[in-house]
Structure 1
């Protein structure tokens, strides 16, 4: 029995509610569906608004590769499985691109090489990439975010770059495909450049990281991509410094911080209840208090929080006592009972980059202007 033809509007309404990873399979159904899913920017916006979000875990390995991971937190023996690396080919060398730092925002992944002379913005779901020259200056750090068009409310993707040890910063706009200097100090009174060596996260288009002001009090600093300036937000309690501090995003809705004031103290996991950027008001809830004294965590690790199960995945490098230049990618899984599961996610390797674990939300967002690759 032949299925009756459905109105195009109805088909679109159905498709824009299908999870993003499933839509790839539907592209081969017919040419019309393929064009809609692959090339229709208005459909991509509708899909982002109406489809249920999927939350996947990715890992940046020490050998500069991004790999999906599957996490099982059920039962008595939680586990992590690292999947084969994703393909990201450097058009200059026609080989896999070495990723030194990685940053996720709204379904897009910003990848930095070690030399910082250029970056690539990548949609792992669609395979689309945008290679961006950074002006040939080493020592740059990059953040990815977006503002909103005042008329259409559509997202305007941007990259902010900062030159280390200077007040110079620039904005790259995807729409104009060009860089421009920011003519004001985006973070007066803050040691902005050095802070980028800590964890940086994106939430709802803005970016967050730890920093300290002129009084030496640690805070969260948020870069607002609409105003193109920074806003200071308080941490759960005032402190001049922490032995360990880290930042993560919880299901694209909240921020989470891991704070350990001193190695003699337990580690605390806090989550935001509310963030009001305009008034700098943030409310926090303490979710977990963990005794991590038996495992090594450093300022260069990263973590994911499973809020409902009250469990933390911590990605860390494990140095080889026999050879200080050798290390392994490790993930610790720990819950409120302080039972630790140790997972070896990689073979011995010489230090290349710091491993990282992050949440990836698949999206149909298109990077390049229509008609370009």
Structure 2
């Protein structure tokens, strides 16, 4: 991973907490909470184990650092009877640090066809919440994101008796 250091006007390497990553493994970067921390997911295809690490708050630290412990470890071998995949390719994920669960999107090889799936995982939990019914291509790969454009105003709940405001672009 690289970042641009504006003081030196150079790209510098940022370390990842993944001890080793093989060619077929998946490593995916995401955000945690209110975009204050980064998280990285590593899916090891040899062991079918997914690990997630969380960084320090990005704005508070000059250098990015990662928690030394794995925040979430999911052994998919426990759930193999629930998972209808031959091969999975994790494409994106969102991580809830407080509850230690992740929503993950993948493109799985099911009966020689690529199918998009969304599932929720925790240390002792696996729940598939979506599976595409049609074959997908690389253009259809699933993604979960937390980004809301700054031009969109999100309506907050209003107390009873107050008039609701309409969504508006600013």
TM-score normalized by the length of structure 1: 0.33
1:254 to 20, 37, 51: 37
- Tell me if 1:344 matches 2:126: no
Residue of structure 1 equivalent to 2:16:
235
Greater CA radius of gyration, 1 or 2?
A: 1
Residues 240, 225 of structure 1: CA spacing in aligned structure 2 closer, same or farther, 3 A cutoff?
same
1:358 is paired with a residue of what secondary structure?
A: coil
Aligned equivalents of 1:312, 1:225: Cα separation in 2: 33
- Tell me if 1:297 matches 2:88: yes
Aligned equivalents of 2:58, 2:40: Cα separation in 1: 14
2:76 is paired with a residue of what secondary structure?
A: coil
Residues 344, 276 of structure 1: CA spacing in aligned structure 2 closer, same or farther, 3 A cutoff?
closer
Residues 236, 352 of structure 1: CA spacing in aligned structure 2 closer, same or farther, 3 A cutoff?
closer
TM-score normalized by the length of structure 2: 0.65
Residues 332, 234 of structure 1: CA spacing in aligned structure 2 closer, same or farther, 3 A cutoff?
same
What are the ranges of 5 or more consecutive residues in structure 1 without an aligned counterpart?
1-219, 366-373
Residue of structure 2 equivalent to 1:308:
98
Residues 347, 255 of structure 1: CA spacing in aligned structure 2 closer, same or farther, 3 A cutoff?
same
Return the structure number with greater helix share. 1
Deviations 1:167-212 (A, max 9, x none): xxxxxxxxxxxxxxxxxxxxxxxxxxxxxxxxxxxxxxxxxxxxxx
Higher relative contact order (CA 8 A, sep 6+): 1
- Tell me if 1:267 matches 2:50: yes
After the TM superposition, which segments of 4 or more aligned residues of structure 1 sit over 3 Å from their partners?
223-229, 274-281
Aligned residues: 141
Aligned equivalents of 2:72, 2:100: Cα separation in 1: 7
Aligned equivalents of 1:352, 1:331: Cα separation in 2: 16
Aligned equivalents of 2:5, 2:148: Cα separation in 1: 21
RMSD (CA atoms):
3.1
